[in-house]
Amino acid sequence: QKEVEQNSGPLSVPEGAIASLNCTYSDRGSQSFFWYRQYSGKSPELIMFIYSNGDKEDGRFTAQLNKASQYVSLLIRDSQPSDSATYLCVPRGNQFYFGTGTSLTVIP
């Protein structure tokens, strides 16, 4: 079983909507997570880090961590076409593993 499961998508949302990207994880020892964004043909970029239960907000982005249910989410409010990319959820303790992520397309 993979340590982290993400819906590979593609996920499509209209411009201005909320995009919700979700990960579930199997290792109860995972305490914190990174979110990376990768535009097509480009290298990944670190955009969020969450280490405690609850929400962490940064502009239009909100990361959520629920340790009891073992899921982590990234919400993108007021989605823009420039948010179209693949988003990767990576556990802090095992950053050697990068899954295929979730592909998001924001439709103008």
Partner 1 sequence: DGGITQSPKYLFRKEGQNVTLSCEQNLNHDAMYWYRQDPGQGLRLIYYSQIVNDFQKGDIAEGYSVSREKKESFPLTVTSAQKNPTAFYLCASREGQLYGYTFGSGTRLTVV
Contacts with partner 1 by CB under 8 A lie at: 34, 36, 41-46, 49, 88, 92-93, 95-101
Token pair of 57 as six digits: 């907000």
- What is the closest distance, in whole angstroms, from the C-beta atom of residue 54 to partner 1 in the complex? 20
Shortest Å distance, C-beta 46 to partner 1: 4
Q: Looking at beta carbons only, is 14 or 98 nearer to partner 1?
A: 98
**CA–CA separation, 66 and 58 (whole Å):** 18
- Do 65 and 52 contact (CB within 8 A), yes or no? yes
For residues 42 and 55, what is the distance between their CA atoms, to the nearest angstrom?
A: 28
CB 28 → partner 1: shortest distance, Å?
A: 18
